[in-house]
Amino acid sequence: MVQNEHILLVVDAFTDEPFKGNPAAVCVIPEGDQYPPDEWLLSFGKEMNLSETAFIRARPGGDGFDLRWFTPGLEVKLCGHATLASAHALWELGLLAAGETAVFHSRWSGVLTATRDGEGWMELDFPVRRITEKTPPAGAIEALGAEPAEVVFGEHAYYAIFENESQVRALTPDFTALSVFDPVEQLEGIVATAPGDDPGVDFVSRFFASPAGIDEDPVCGSAHCALAPLWAARLGKAEFNARQVSARGGILRVRLDGERVKIAGLAVTVTRGCVVAAPTHGQPV
């Protein structure tokens, strides 16, 4: 690594095994540099072709880090696994001390923090996404290929509630049908969820995010900002062990705390390098 280059890591989040969990690219912009133009950020997200690419930059005066997230198709307002990956990257690169809290300033979701315990578990502090009643667009639920027991809305996605885990695992959505729904209309996708079958697993989920350019997000941390209040109302508790049952799979510890949701997980780095096509100038955040 040389001074003033953009460091790049690929981190598997919500797992301690390489090639499991949800991979995120983390691009660390050199201190003092401005953010590259939005067109470059989106193009880089497309180039990475992961469910999320995070861009982090140290703020002046040691006031934490700016953080933005891009899918291959758009910039999103909140992302859990890429925030977990970003905090992991800062500690691994020595940009944060071992016991120091990671403080991220986001454009739309306010200040987000991450802390780490002695066993490597990192806990994110995120805002609650409240569950409301809202009619899904025509054809959205049908595109799942199975009829849920109930459908609610959680600020960014619809939540299809099934009776058991087997139903969620068996879903084979029509991604072409799902992809026509516009994320600008607050529809990033559909989350399918059900009680967990295994002892010690409170609930499971899968996230189909075709409108955001991702057929299935392997492990979506931000979806748990709505899953926490959803399952708190049904199970009468505030702390959960959650499992995302995608092909890669992932484990999360989730805790509802008033208007915040604490989401904990592990992470492992699989790639480290630098960006050689980084722009030489940028724009203010």
Q: What is the DSSP string of 44-85?
A: HHHHHTSSEEEEEEEPGGG--EEEEEE-SS-EES--HHHHHH
Q: Which residues of the chain form CATH 3.10.310.10?
A: 6-121+266-275, 142-256
pLDDT at 1: 43
Q: What is the DSSP string of 199-263?
A: TT--EEEEEEEGGGTEEEES--TTTHHHHHHHHHHHHS-SEEEEEE-SSS-EEEEEEEETTEEEE
pLDDT at 268: 98
pLDDT at 3: 56
Query: Using CA atoms, how far apart are residues 205 and 133, in angstroms rounded to an integer?
Result: 20
pLDDT at 210: 87
pLDDT at 124: 98
pLDDT at 182: 61
Q: Which CATH architecture describes the domain 142-256?
A: Roll (3.10)
pLDDT at 32: 86
Pick the catalytic residue from 5, 52, 165, 216: 52
pTM: 0.92
Superfamily of domain 6-121+266-275: Diaminopimelate Epimerase; Chain A, domain 1 (3.10.310.10)
Greatest extent of the chain over all pairs of C-alpha atoms, in Å: 55
Q: Is 52 a catalytic residue?
A: yes
- As averages over each run of 10 residues, the pLDDT of the chain (285 residues) reads 79 97 97 92 95 95 94 91 98 95 96 95 97 88 94 93 98 90 66 96 96 90 97 97 97 97 98 88 47
The residues near 93 (Cβ < 8 Å, ≥ 6 apart) are 7, 9, 28
Number of residues written out for the chain: 285
